[in-house]
Amino acid sequence: MKKFLKIIKLTFIAILSICVLFFLYFFISNKLFLESKNENNISYLTKNKTEITNSINDKLFDDDFYKSKVFLLGEIHGFADNQKLDKELLFFLNKKLGVKYYIAEMDSLTSKKLNNFLTDSLKNQEILKDVVLAISKRIPQQASQELFDKWNDIYDYNQKLTDSLKIKVIGIDKNFDDNSKVARDSAMVLNFMNSIKEMKLEDEKFYGLFGYFHVLQNITENGRETFASGLKKSGVKTTSFVSYTLDSEMYLPKNPQFPTPDDEKMDWINADGPLQLVKGINDLKDLSKPNSITLFKINSQNSPYSKSQHLINVKSRVFGENITPENGTFTSNYFQYVFLLRNSNALTKLK
């Protein structure tokens, strides 16, 4: 009996030791990947940042920014403040440049419903609910009460505009019944170009919210083309914003593919870990405040991000895939601006 108890004890100690070693490896490897603060980066970022309060300000936008034909915001789905950013960027670009065409990560059937909602004199909430439910089939982490509220706000905003400035939606994603072998991002580029031709929008500018990967303007190590890299290859001048979060909660709706918390919220998927890591994020953290949204420009003259891969090198421990930049490329080849969201709430289920 004593021998058996001794074996149990040794087995327990061995299992505990393995768990401790695994935790230490996990913790140390995360710290090494994130890296400590870089004073050269911080010095640059100090001069190239602005805090966003109730609306977008133009402090970091120069003449070259306004020459872009397409403006894209890339989000990691599930964070409420991204819906606020999307709305405010659309309003800013509409007022400043007359941007009225919102390109969307949705199929043409869903965008048609959304346009019907925007032009309906009675503000039909049932149509909008149908849109959110349609979006849930493709992007369940985006379909939410906040998405519903955002389009209600855009409807109200639209009512105050002249017809020549009213916002319209162009869905460029593949339809669900599209069985072609064309990759999704390539299909989005093709659909976008076809829409411009069919609607005679060659002289227009465009804005849209997409998942993070789609707005990267260069292929990564995996070689897959993105929507934005396809635009760039086609000679379309594009500006990409990406959004990262710290100390924030993500909406994680019930899904048979992996377990989710009872309240469908998770705070483990932020840019500083533990399940997702963005190299160099500590520099942005040092220059921002809790409960804030801060915008950083990373392509100004003499930017260290034109010579490094900080902020584009992303490691995913569980969800999604690693983002490893292509050899010989740097951060500013992928995007030009970073929003840092601190203490964002999670999106919530549609009521």
**pLDDT of 202-219, one tens digit each?**
999 999 999 999 999 999
Burial class (CB in 10 A: 0-12, 13-18, 19+), 200: exposed
Identify the domain containing residue 86 by its residue range. Answer: 40-342
- pLDDT tens, position by position, 133-158: 999 999 999 999 999 999 999 999 99
Strand ranges inside 6-98, DSSP E:
49-52, 70-75
Average pLDDT, the chain: 91
In-domain check, residue 320: yes
Instruction: Report which of 177, 159, 153 is spatially closest to residue 120, judged by C-alpha positions.
Output: 159
3-class SS at 297?
strand
Average pLDDT, integer, range 328-335: 96
In-domain check, residue 7: no
Residue of higher predicted confidence among 10 and 199: 199
In-domain check, residue 12: no
Average pLDDT, integer, range 95-111: 97
* Three-point CA angle 162, 165, 167, nearest 5°: 115
* Three-point CA angle 117, 120, 125, nearest 5°: 50
Q: Strand pairing of 337-342 and 101-104? A: unpaired
Q: Strand pairing of 273-274 and 314-316? A: unpaired
**C-alpha to C-alpha distance for 59 and 49, rounded to whole angstroms:** 8
Query: Which residues fall within 8 angstroms of residue 60, CB to CB, at 6 or more apart?
Result: 48, 49, 50, 295, 296, 297, 337
User: Structure pTM?
Assistant: 0.92
Residue 235: predicted pLDDT: 97
Asked if residue 130 lies in contact with residue 151, where contact means CB atoms within 8 angstroms, the answer is: no
Asked if residue 290 lies in contact with residue 342, where contact means CB atoms within 8 angstroms, the answer is: yes
Q: How many domains does the chain have?
A: 1
Asked if residue 331 lies in contact with residue 311, where contact means CB atoms within 8 angstroms, the answer is: yes
In-domain check, residue 347: no
**C-alpha to C-alpha distance for 53 and 15, rounded to whole angstroms:** 50
Residue 37: predicted pLDDT: 84
Per-position b or e across 86-104, b if 16+ CB within 10 A of its CB: bbbbbbbbbeeeebbbbbb
169 has a pLDDT exceeding 80: yes
Instruction: Supply 83's token pair.
Output: 């819906």
3-class SS at 329?
coil
Residue 262: predicted pLDDT: 82
DSSP state of 207: E
Instruction: Report which of 235, 230, 206 is spatially closest to residue 217, judged by C-alpha positions.
Output: 230
**C-alpha to C-alpha distance for 36 and 64, rounded to whole angstroms:** 33
In-domain check, residue 29: no
Indicate the range of 55-69, 99-113, 312-326 predicted with least confidence. Answer: 312-326
How many Cβ atoms are within 10 Å of 303's Cβ, its own excluded?
Answer: 19
